A and B are shown apart, each in its own frame.
Chain A
Amino acid sequence: MKKLFLFLILALCLPMTSQPVMADDENPAIEKEVKVDVDEIKLRSPLEIEQAVMEYMLAFEAYQSARKSSDPEVRGKMVQYMKQYREAYARFLDMMREDNLYEPQKPKNPAGRYNRKHMKQKGSKRQWRATAARQTREKVKKMVEAGASPEAIKATIKESLPAAPMSVDPMDAAGLGQSPAGGPGTGFTRPGDDDDDDDKTTSKTGSNLDSKIPYKPKPIDGPSGSHHPHKPKH
């Protein structure tokens, strides 16, 4: 009974706190140039991914709050906060690399690639929830300002990570009696529709994105003598 009650609460509250987006709003011009082997992509549990994103986002919030603080004590912890953010982000990138959702030399579009595979495997795209975890962000911010230790912040972030997937598989949702666009009365909207149109860039031809040899334009006469400041020295 309790479980059912909890489930109902979750089912009702989650859509209210977060909004679904179709996270495959790819840049068509870039996507055209990037070869993605859909079969290579692994579909990891969405919860694991969402937790990883939430973790680096909150860790960044903590770092950023410390950076903007004028309290020397708080600022003193900046380095540890940054380390935590970098670690959290590195974990996320690792996950993406493992699942073939990201390659360093290609434009990033992890959710879009995930959905390609999802589409191929399950016939539909997964609906990701747009949430910036506002309340948790505020909480982390306040804790940092109050001088909490980086360990305490890390623990709080871990505790605040979602326990159930925030995104929805339309097929599962349909099975549960929810329409892909959200159940009645949940206030589902499609916010991705109203502000993503400007993401589309005009298509220009010519690319070598998939070739490992970089396109080398004519060097300009730079005074440093090198036409590229950070040419890898390795």
Chain B
Amino acid sequence: MIRRGLSLSEIIIALAIAVMVMVPVTSMFSTSGQQVQKSRNFSFAAGLARRISQHLMAMPFENIVEVPLPGLAMHDSPDDVFFNPLLNFSTSQSGVKKITASDMPALYGFLAQNDFKYALSVSNVSFGAGDEIKSISILITWKEAGRNMIYRTHVYVSSV
């Protein structure tokens, strides 16, 4: 019998197999890219929620109030205790930096692009006979590839 070697169809099949191997690998790679972007937003949101939870501990109890959905944006927003003003390297009020396009362009761009917002849902809870504990749900919302995303955490702050 004469050995004919690899036929064209064999090569095509071989190539097809190679392509079939490559496609998932490349798609896996592009998903890992998306994953990184996604995890950046998620992790940023978790950081924001943590930040709010920490500020709640330090602020006067009675000032902890509801911030209803759809929530407040962090950029171009009026002063609050959590995000604005954000920085101040000077020794007086005049040097404060807020999250605006002029003060902090990079952060402003990122927040505006993803439309990051925060909301607080506050309820008084009573574990005993006292009514001096606030149970606070912190919600961070943002938009990612046209989808609405949410990160939620929960803290208790007591008045005593």
Query: Which residues of A approach B to under 8 Å, CB–CB?
Result: 64, 68-70, 75
Contact = CB atoms under 8 A, between A and B. Distances in A.
Looking at B60, B62, B159, which has the most chain A CB atoms within 10 Å of its CB?
A: B60
A70 B63 CA distance: 8
Contacts of A64: 160
Contacts of B63: 70
Contacts of A68: 60-61, 159
A69 to B, nearest CB: 6
Contacts of B159: 68
B120 to A, nearest CB: 17
A181 B159 CA distance: 36
A75 to B, nearest CB: 8
A64 B57 CA distance: 12
Given A70-B60, A70-B63, A75-B60, 6 more contacts: A64-B160, A68-B60, A68-B61, A68-B159, A69-B60, A70-B62
Nearest to B60: A70
B65 to A, nearest CB: 12
A194 to B, nearest CB: 15
A203 to B, nearest CB: 28
**Most chain B CB within a 10 A radius of its CB, from A64, A68, A70, A75:** A68
A150 B60 CA distance: 19
A69 B60 CA distance: 6
A68 B58 CA distance: 8
Contacts of B61: 68
Contacts of B60: 68-70, 75
Contacts of B62: 70
A61 to B, nearest CB: 10
A69 B63 CA distance: 10
Nearest to B59: A70
9 contacts: A64-B160, A68-B60, A68-B61, A68-B159, A69-B60, A70-B60, A70-B62, A70-B63, A75-B60
Interface string B147-160: 00000000000011
Contacts of B160: 64
A94 to B, nearest CB: 27
Nearest to B158: A68
A68 B63 CA distance: 10
Contacts of A70: 60, 62-63
B85 to A, nearest CB: 16
A227 B78 CA distance: 43
A74 to B, nearest CB: 10
B103 to A, nearest CB: 25
A64 B60 CA distance: 11
A71 to B, nearest CB: 8
Interface in B46-91: 60-63
B158 to A, nearest CB: 10
A68 B61 CA distance: 6
A75 B59 CA distance: 10
Contacts of A75: 60
B136 to A, nearest CB: 16
A-B pairs, 6 with minimum CB distance:
A70-B60, A68-B61, A70-B63, A70-B62, A68-B60, A68-B159
A133 to B, nearest CB: 15
